Structure 1
Amino acid sequence: MKVVVAHNRYREAIPSGENVIVDTEMAQLSAAGVQVLPFQRSSDSIGALPAAQKALLPVSPIYGRAAQRDLAALLAEHHPDVLHLHNPYPLLSPWVVRTAHAHGVPVVQTVHNYRQVCSSGLYFRDGHNCTDCRGKVIGWPAVRHRCYRGSAAQSAILATALAVHRPTWRSVDRYIALTDRIADHLRDYGIAERQIVVKPNGLPDPGEPDPLGDGFLYAARLSPEKGLGLLLDAWRRHPDGALGELRIAGDGELRPLAERAATERGDVTYLGVLDRAGMVAARRAAAVIVAVPTWNDVLPTVILEAMAAGRPVLGTTVGGIPYLLGAGQPGPAAGWAVAPEAAALAAALPTARAQAAALAADARKRYVQEFHPDVLTPRLIEIYRDVAASSGRARE
């Protein structure tokens, strides 16, 4: 089986769980015998583009000419069974769906965010959840609030792209919704039930977990929707040192908040930006991983990494987090899910510290049973085969 994996990579300076998932999935598919044909562009390359391509950048979310030309050549040469799309913005554009269909290739898309409707992809702006653009033909609220990269002009282009490509998105052969909430988002958008399958992301098995460390680790992009302010508000409701150490890793606009907390309290350490080895070491040193976004975060990779490493997670009851942790499901949960409020989080912190050792094995077990490559890779290949068979392109 041949599969084109199409993805516009996010900038490497800002850690992206989506980039990690795409790389991991391609490696898992290759190991399972699938011939993977990467078709990727990187937002890091924009500065080095030729002048002619830079001139076309404003319309690339609508129609990326260079991407369509290159993709058409790849499809004509290799005749793949399926194209699997992740992020199309800004250099690929959703037009890759039309290009694939023009060559008789069915399309699967993994939905990592809400960008069929929301220009930022988050359903979040100005510190609160927002669905102002839902149900509108053109998302003018996104333009008014400068939701895409803080620019009214770029927001207008993306809002136009979303309107133009409504028929494109509805033509995708199969959507992979990472959680039930994403499936609901797609149904609300008008996607037929037969086009949707729920399959979460997974990560490679890092091996048997190390013994628990101590304290808490928060590792995320330091932006408002990721909940750093919420966490620090809750943390300050306890005396300095009462909960062990809080380590903060990452970078972003709220970095000064993390740095200031580290200077004000002896039990807060700001680790800065960590590479992969640094993240492994930071997880090993912790007893509990904290993931407390206030937006409807779809499927935070940091939680998958925590469970794989046998670390329970203190999370918020938003997006896909309760699903990830198994909250309200049969069997033991992999952590604690609390309301995204400072009082609720403050009350949960000492509980998490006291019960971490008891839940560590449950966290690892949930990863092995639900998010291990041995479970998820065969499911993904079956999705490909089903879509290819429906289009008449099935082959081994």
Structure 2
Amino acid sequence: MHILSIHNAYQIRGGEDESCAAEQQLLREQGHQVDVYQEDNARIQTLNSAHAAIKTTWSAESYRDIRQHLAQHPVDIVHIQNFFPLISPSVHHAAKDAGVPVVQTLRNYRLLCPNALFFRAGQVCEDCLGKPIPYPGVLHGCYRESRAASAAVAAMLLAHRLLRTWIETVDYFIALTEFARQKFIEGGLPAHKIVVKPNFVSPDPGVGDGRGGYMLYVGRLSVEKGLDTLIDAWQRLDLSVPLKIIGDGPLSDQVNAAAQTHPSIEWLGRQPMNQVHNLMGSAMAVIFPSKWYETFGRVAIEAFAKGTPVIASNIGAIAEVVQPGYTGLQFHPNDPDDLAQQVKWVLNHPEALQQMRQNARAEFIAKYTAKANYQMLMDIYSKVQKQV
């Protein structure tokens, strides 16, 4: 099978980029030809605001590039991973005009929300969900804290709703969890076109021993990730269980300050993936304190691969990934007291924690290996081809 993968990469590689690259590599390992059409968000800085707004809605350059590529290569599937902002939905129409079926992975909530997060002013926000014109996002300047930039995103969303781009040019959407699938259905995407396929971890990092005597956070240091809840919980604990924090981001200064003043908190900054996995495997638990509707939660399945349970906030997709009492525990989002209680429970129940380690690894083997994911992806591609 010959696949054209389309992806607008971030300036700083994150979970979406890693998941796209892993999927492309998996397909190549299985003998498929994968072409990649990619833009880098860094290029938007070279454009004036008017030009950037036009490209966000319709990039003539991307349309031309895709039409030329499809005319010259016998592509079976166009798989759109992320088109925003520079590639634009013009690529959807390029594939349709060339008669090539389209699969699109929904890696964030961009089709429903200008900032793609359903998160504003420190809390979940669904003000734009279901609205033909996402004007609240413009009023609040939700994209890049700019009304002008948010208006450009809203214009793109409105234009392609009017063009019926999402309805008529995409054969199947891939949501990463059932929670995310339901949100997209609420937002107007056709339910019969949305299937669920999670991310995966490859290569298998192997099981850790969980004997490090600490707990671990891995991820971007930003408001929606719940770092304030995490740090507040540790300040309330009367037990000196160490907390290691891996990552960087807008809240780096606050995390560094907490590490300087609290003897049990250690900030390690960014770490190479092999070191992240090593630390995951030795951790008693990985803590996932998000405040927003994560579309998936890749860190959680990396922890499962190492046999490490996850203590997660009970919100959005991550609440679907982590089964309380089986692969980890859950706490109320934005509630440091509840998080502190879950940490204490882990410390007081070593036998149950050991069973959770076995369960977490079993969950990874059952759902999140490359082998399992490849079969799910092939099933989706086969359904698409049968419809052509």
TM-score (norm 2): 0.94
Q: CA deviation at 1:69?
A: 1.7
Match of 2:236 in 1: 237
C-alpha separation in 2, matches of 1:275 and 1:204: 15
C-alpha separation in 1, matches of 2:346 and 2:157: 42
C-alpha separation in 2, matches of 1:162 and 1:217: 38
Contact 2:208 2:280 in 1 (8 A): no
Match status 1:295 vs 2:292: yes
Match of 1:318 in 2: 315
Q: Secondary structure at 1:86's aligned position in 2?
A: strand
Q: Aligned runs of 1:137-156 on 2, under 5 Å?
A: 137-156=132-151
Distance change in 2, residues 1:54/1:142 (3 Å): closer
Match of 1:394 in 2: none
Match of 1:67 in 2: 62
Cα distance per residue 1:235-262 (max 9 Å; x no partner): 11113xx242101111111111101110
C-alpha separation in 2, matches of 1:119 and 1:92: 16
Match status 1:336 vs 2:332: no
C-alpha separation in 2, matches of 1:311 and 1:214: 12
C-alpha separation in 2, matches of 1:144 and 1:337: 34
Cα distance per residue 1:74-114 (max 9 Å; x no partner): 11111311111111111111221111100001111111121
Match of 1:309 among 306, 310, 329: 306
Contact 1:243 1:350 in 2 (8 A): no
C-alpha separation in 1, matches of 2:326 and 2:61: 47
Contact 1:95 1:168 in 2 (8 A): no
Match of 1:98 in 2: 93
Contact 2:114 2:142 in 1 (8 A): yes
Contact 2:220 2:247 in 1 (8 A): yes
Match of 2:106 in 1: 111
Match of 1:182 among 180, 183, 187: 180
C-alpha separation in 2, matches of 1:127 and 1:206: 35
Match of 1:40 in 2: 38
Q: CA deviation at 1:196?
A: 1.4
Cα distance per residue 1:162-196 (max 9 Å; x no partner): 11112111221101111111111222122223211
Contact 1:243 1:349 in 2 (8 A): no
Match of 2:8 in 1: 8
Q: Aligned runs of 1:156-195 on 2, under 5 Å?
A: 156-166=151-161, 167-171=164-168, 172-195=170-193
C-alpha separation in 1, matches of 2:366 and 2:203: 12
* Cα root mean square deviation, aligned: 1.7
C-alpha separation in 1, matches of 2:72 and 2:365: 39
Distance change in 2, residues 1:207/1:155 (3 Å): closer
Q: CA deviation at 1:46?
A: 3.7
C-alpha separation in 1, matches of 2:113 and 2:258: 33
Match of 1:346 among 340, 346, 349: 340
Match of 2:271 in 1: 274
Match of 2:81 in 1: 86
Match of 1:18 in 2: 16
Contact 1:216 1:247 in 2 (8 A): yes
Q: Secondary structure at 1:236's aligned position in 2?
A: helix
Amino acid at match of 1:334: T
Q: Secondary structure at 2:57's aligned position in 1?
A: coil
Would you say how many aligned residue pairs link Structure 1 and Structure 2?
380
TM-score (norm 1): 0.92
Amino acid at match of 1:257: Q
Match of 2:131 in 1: 136
Q: Secondary structure at 1:269's aligned position in 2?
A: strand
Match of 1:225 in 2: 224
C-alpha separation in 2, matches of 1:19 and 1:137: 29
Amino acid at match of 1:347: Q
Q: Secondary structure at 2:58's aligned position in 1?
A: coil
Amino acid at match of 2:275: G
Match of 2:118 in 1: 123
Moved more, 191-200 or 289-298: 191-200
Q: Which runs of 4+ in 1 moved over 6 A?
A: none
C-alpha separation in 2, matches of 1:339 and 1:35: 45
Contact 2:277 2:302 in 1 (8 A): no
C-alpha separation in 2, matches of 1:294 and 1:363: 23
Contact 1:118 1:133 in 2 (8 A): yes
Unpaired stretches in structure 2, ≥5 consecutive residues = none
Contact 1:203 1:373 in 2 (8 A): yes
Amino acid at match of 1:358: Q
Contact 2:205 2:277 in 1 (8 A): no
Contact 1:117 1:134 in 2 (8 A): yes
